[in-house]
Amino acid sequence: MIRFEQVSKAYSGGAQALQNVSFHLGKGEMAFLTGHSGAGKSTLLRLITLQERPSAGKVSINGHDISRLRSAQIPLVRRDIGIIFQDHRLLMDKTVFENVALPLIVVGFTAGEIRKRVQTALGWVGLSDKAHCYPIQLSGGEQQRVGIARAVVNKPPLLLADEPTGNLDPKLSMDILRLFEDLNSLGISVLVATHDLGLIARMRHHTFTLKQGRMLGDSLAGDDL
Ligand code: ADP
Ligand code: ADP
């Protein structure tokens, strides 16, 4: 699903964010990406979403080399990737339903199709009865789940999460990770960037570790972090 081959990224300011990074996330797999602040996690995710381009090396998504894509093709690749942010980035003046429907409106589905898909996605995250609430009426964990529903409403083959539990307590964080596992069992490949090693240790998934821009190799959670 994701393949990095000898990928390096140097920012114009001079920072060498990634150096010769190679790794592979198979189709249907779920894995963690970890490392200290500044290790390069966000940069790695931004190379997948094409917000940044590699300085060297090759990035492939779903078998396609995206390192040399023309700009016109970028939206097509992005459509295949659901993204979850730490701060969920919901529109506060829109209902839960409207927030989740946004990616479908962009693609141009009919109203009936949108209603069906939004209800399915809200069902996955356990918020079927909150469709007409505004984000402010929901708890922090529920707001994060709305963000997750929005990310998966298109049924993307790949889901990326950047510190998705950063603002949540340990119990809610665990609930969110279980939810990712549920989505993974629907066939969605999942990559979760987090520095919460305690959380990772409680789950059995491959963990890719970055240290100062280099990949330390992968391990099963809890083995040698
Ligand atoms: P992490 O997500 O693990 O905290 P980042 O990928 O954000 O790491 O950062 C890796 C390194 O690249 C850091 O030294 C950071 O300061 C630098 N960096 C990140 N984004 C930029 C940018 N847009 N311009 C210049 N340097 C950057
Ligand atoms: P995240 O929460 O994803 O880790 P960051 O704080 O790393 O976000 O980065 C937020 C924004 O600031 C990004 O657009 C990133 O490119 C930019 N940025 C991060 N580090 C630097 C840096 N050292 N110099 C310039 N821009 C940076």
Model confidence pLDDT, tens digit, residues 101-119: 999 988 889 999 999 999 9
Q: Would you state the pLDDT for residue 160?
A: 97
**Distance (Å, whole) CA 190 – CA 82:** 9
69: in domain: no
- Closest by CA to 7, choosing from 42, 33, 44, 37, is 44
The pairing of beta strand 56-61 with beta strand 2-10: antiparallel
What residues does ligand 2 touch, defined as CB less than 6 Å away?
Answer: 13, 15, 42, 162
What's the number of domains the chain is made of?
Answer: 1
Distance CA 133, CA 97 (A): 8
Tell whether the model's pLDDT for residue 192 goes beyond 50: yes
| Confidence band, pLDDT 50/70/90 cuts, at residue 199 | confident
**In-domain check, residue 56:** no
Residue 172 contacts residue 140 (beta carbons within 8 Å): yes
Ligand with smallest separation from the Cα of 47: 1
Q: Is 147 in the pocket of ligand 1 (CB under 6 A)?
A: no
pLDDT band at 218 (very low <50, low <70, confident <90, very high): low
Residue 161 lies inside a defined structural domain of this protein = yes
Cα dihedral sign for 109, 114, 116, 119? positive
59 pLDDT exceeds 90?
A: yes
Ligand nearest the Cα atom of residue 160? 2
Task: Indicate which CATH number applies to the domain containing 190.
Answer: 3.40.50.300
Q: Which domain holds residue 105?
A: 30-45+76-220
Could you tell me what percentage of the chain is helix, strand and coil, using 3-state DSSP and rounding each to the nearest 5?
35, 25, 35
Please tell me the distance between residue 141's alpha carbon and the centre of ligand 1 in angstroms: 27
Pick the ligand that lies closest to the CA of residue 15. Answer: 1
Domain-embedded: residue 150: yes
Dist. CA 43 → ligand 1 center (Å): 6
Q: Is 125 helix (H, G, I), strand (E, B) or coil?
A: coil
Q: Does residue 7 lie within any of the structural domains?
A: no
Is residue 223 pLDDT above 50, yes or no? no
**Residue 40 confidence (pLDDT) above 90:** yes
What does 160-222 look like in DSSP terms, one character per residue? EEESTTTTS-HHHHHHHHHHHHHHHHTT-EEEEE---HHHHHTS--EEEEEETTEEEEEEETT
Q: Is residue 64 part of a domain?
A: no
Q: Tell whether ipTM is more than 0.85.
A: no
Please report, rounded to a whole number, the percentage of residues in the chain having pLDDT higher than 90.
69
In this structure, is residue 17 part of a structural domain?
no
- Two structure tokens written together for 139: 């708890």
